Structure 1
Amino acid sequence: MPEALVIAGSYEGGLHGWTFDNDNYELKFSFAAHQGCIRCVATNSHVEDAQPLLLTGGDDEVIRAFSLSTFRQLGELSKHAGTVTDLCFCGSKHFASASADGTILLWRLKEWTCVHVLGGHDKPVHSVDAHPSGRMLLSTGADRTLRLWDLVEGRGAHITRTKGEASKVCWNGPATSYLLILGARVEVLDVETSTAEFDIDVGARVLDACFLSGTDFVATADGAGCISVWSAQGCVWRRSRRGGGRVKALAGLRVGPCDKCASLDAWAASFRLVAAASSGACEAWAPAGPADDLDDED
């Protein structure tokens, strides 16, 4: 297995990376990368045979690129006129950046040049996620729209009104469905029919959510301090975090050989659910064992 790496940005502009082995963290790098808060990070670790890259964006309106082999900066890009709110790689040759200025920029990695300006959102763009093919992109914004973009032509392909302001959009692994965070709810929608596969009422504001790789499960972190895992039938695992600040980001980290997992226990044997908290801590959870610890609280 390749070395597992956890990367997080801070409110102060610091960029930090830890190797993760046998449920232990070891600091790999830590340095100042931005002036002001880092809002987003993205890697191309999912792209086969690609030079390992890390992108960061933040309140200083700048995108910075780093090598994950040397941890040195490769350059910086400045074209947005607002906070860089999200980043994602689009296949092996491009990446997209979203901004509070209402635009999405498509960049070519080879020359580090902007090849398309995707304008359509009339308010800040909150989230972008590229289809695994790298040919399409989903975006959500403060204008309460979900937009599908054709990255080959560099134009909008479809617009849907959301039921509220969606703070995040995310494809599942095979791109058969996608999720939207809508306040205290998470919707999982079928790509072909645009109908809800399941609608999760978390009960508190959802701070982040993600699909668990190789499964049909969705993980959430909420403002009440809970980390939960959900299926179409409801909550299947939940833990209450006692202190440590709010969770700002969730991600699955592969630590074992399993690709497709038939159960949550099988997923927990090969993956960890990593949570980055506002306190500055990174936590690793194995969502296995008793389904719910809330009944054990005093």
Structure 2
Amino acid sequence: MKATSKLQNVMCLRTKFPCQSDIYFVKIWDPSLRGSELRATLKGHTRAIRTISSDRGKIVSGADDQSVIVWDKQTFKLLEELKGHEAPVSSVRMLSGERVLIASHDGTVKMWDVRTDTCVVTVGRCQSAVLCMEYDDSTGILAAAGRDITAHVWDIRSSKQMFKLQGHTKWIRSMRMTGETIITGSDDWTARVWSLNRGTCDAVLACHAGPVLCVEYSPSDKGIITGSADGLIRFWENEGGIKCVKNLTLHTASVLSISASDHWLAIGAADNSMSLFHRPQERFGGFSNAGSKLAGWQLYRTPQKTAAVVRCIASDLDRKRICSGGRNGLLRLWDATTSI
């Protein structure tokens, strides 16, 4: 495909672009170019794109066509097409050393070598479809979960399974790994906090009235944020035991995506809207407001509604840039301070 120029600071997100031929695209946007933000359309997949990962030089996309495509981030050319899964691809993660982790509805997590276009090893196997995956490149710890209602944890450097984290009673939809902790969200209306040292459940967060569709870790205050099909956003604090310290009802439908940084928090929902929170930097030293650090999050603004459900958000929040993807296949790129 033809690309007009090389880019830095681009953002990418999955999309099914609606058109008569029903072709599925990856779209690349540059938020600094007002009025001409769309920089490239990457054509290669034949079904809906579910996941994207990238490093400095490459973009990796996975789709329902059971394939993973590796693209050059500068020229946008298709470099490799990795085929080896027997079901839709649900999650991809680009690793150092030209390798990529791929999770699929076939119940496996495989490591591929991009340079040789070969599957190096199957690093994890679940009993049913994998719906979410997390990996810590510094420790080599991989976690995956999905329809078998178990969160599986492996040390891929030693090729050993560490734990099977069991406790959820329905599908696990979301996962976040931070340090020695894994947070999972499930259709059983709960989120759970697990210890990677002991392989035990340290807490059950059970204050939602619907499936927990997204979980996030707030690095600035070491808190947890959950979003649910009940439309609620809940903030949890871990001081002397995990407790819910703040409830917000900003959306009229399911909360589908949460992305947090030290200063910014972006949320996407099924009511076709997003909400953006900010925490002023000067307040990070501590909070006396109700004794809660998480009380420091302030609603910054709510962008104009989109034409479709905001299913996913990719963001570089410290640069105040947000990319949202909708059910209608359109991607929107926002500047948190000006364009929304």
Normalised by the length of structure 2, the TM-score is 0.66
Q: Which moved more, 1:195-204 or 1:94-103?
A: 195-204
Amino acid in structure 1 at the alignment position of 2:116: E
Match of 1:34 in 2: 45
Match of 2:143 in 1: 138
Which residue of 5, 13, 25 maps to 1:14? 25
Match of 2:88 in 1: 83
| TM-superposed deviation, 1:59 | 0.9
Which residue of 179, 183, 190 maps to 1:185? 190
Rounded Cα–Cα distance in structure 1 between residues aligned with 2:57 and 2:107? 29
For residues 49-92 of structure 1, the C-alpha deviation after alignment (integer angstroms, 9 at most, x for no partner) is xx432111111000011122222221110000111111123445
3-state DSSP of counterpart to 1:60? coil
Q: Does 1:240 align with 2:289?
A: no
Cα distance change, pair 137–229 in 1 and its aligned pair in 2 (3 A) = same
Q: Which moved more, 1:16-25 or 1:227-236?
A: 16-25
Relative CO higher for 1 or 2, CA cutoff 8 Å, sep ≥ 6?
2
Say if 2:208 and 2:230, in contact at 8 Å, map to a contact too: no
Q: Does 1:168 align with 2:174?
A: yes
Rounded Cα–Cα distance in structure 2 between residues aligned with 1:223 and 1:203? 8
Q: Does 1:278 align with 2:278?
A: no
Q: Does 1:62 align with 2:54?
A: no
Rounded Cα–Cα distance in structure 2 between residues aligned with 1:142 and 1:197? 21
Structure 1's unaligned 5+ residue stretches are 45-50, 287-298
Cα distance change, pair 241–27 in 1 and its aligned pair in 2 (3 A) = farther
Say if 2:208 and 2:232, in contact at 8 Å, map to a contact too: no
| TM-superposed deviation, 1:11 | 7.0
Cα distance change, pair 4–11 in 1 and its aligned pair in 2 (3 A) = closer
- Of all paired residues, the percent bearing the same amino acid is 17
Tell which structure's C-alpha radius of gyration is larger: 2
Rounded Cα–Cα distance in structure 2 between residues aligned with 1:273 and 1:203? 28
For residues 237-283 of structure 1, the C-alpha deviation after alignment (integer angstroms, 9 at most, x for no partner) is 6352358xx66544347999x7xx66665898845676544344548
Q: Does 1:96 align with 2:86?
A: no
Structure 2's unaligned 5+ residue stretches are 1-7, 19-23, 265-280, 286-292, 301-316
3-state DSSP of counterpart to 2:128? coil
Rounded Cα–Cα distance in structure 2 between residues aligned with 1:3 and 1:114? 30
Amino acid in structure 2 at the alignment position of 1:186: A
CA RMSD for the aligned pairs? 3.8
Say if 1:11 and 1:36, in contact at 8 Å, map to a contact too: no
Say if 2:213 and 2:255, in contact at 8 Å, map to a contact too: yes
Cα distance change, pair 255–199 in 1 and its aligned pair in 2 (3 A) = closer
| TM-superposed deviation, 1:16 | 2.1
Match of 1:121 in 2: 126
Amino acid in structure 2 at the alignment position of 1:179: I
Say if 1:252 and 1:272, in contact at 8 Å, map to a contact too: no
3-state DSSP of counterpart to 1:35? coil
Aligned pairs, number: 274
Rounded Cα–Cα distance in structure 1 between residues aligned with 2:257 and 2:99? 24
Say if 1:94 and 1:108, in contact at 8 Å, map to a contact too: yes
3-state DSSP of counterpart to 1:201? coil
Cα distance change, pair 242–167 in 1 and its aligned pair in 2 (3 A) = closer
Amino acid in structure 2 at the alignment position of 1:60: D
Match of 1:107 in 2: 112
Cα distance change, pair 163–247 in 1 and its aligned pair in 2 (3 A) = closer
Say if 2:133 and 2:145, in contact at 8 Å, map to a contact too: yes
Rounded Cα–Cα distance in structure 1 between residues aligned with 2:223 and 2:37? 29
Say if 1:64 and 1:77, in contact at 8 Å, map to a contact too: yes
| TM-superposed deviation, 1:131 | 1.6
Cα distance change, pair 134–9 in 1 and its aligned pair in 2 (3 A) = farther
Amino acid in structure 2 at the alignment position of 1:181: G
Say if 1:247 and 1:276, in contact at 8 Å, map to a contact too: no
Which residue of 219, 223, 240 maps to 2:229? 223
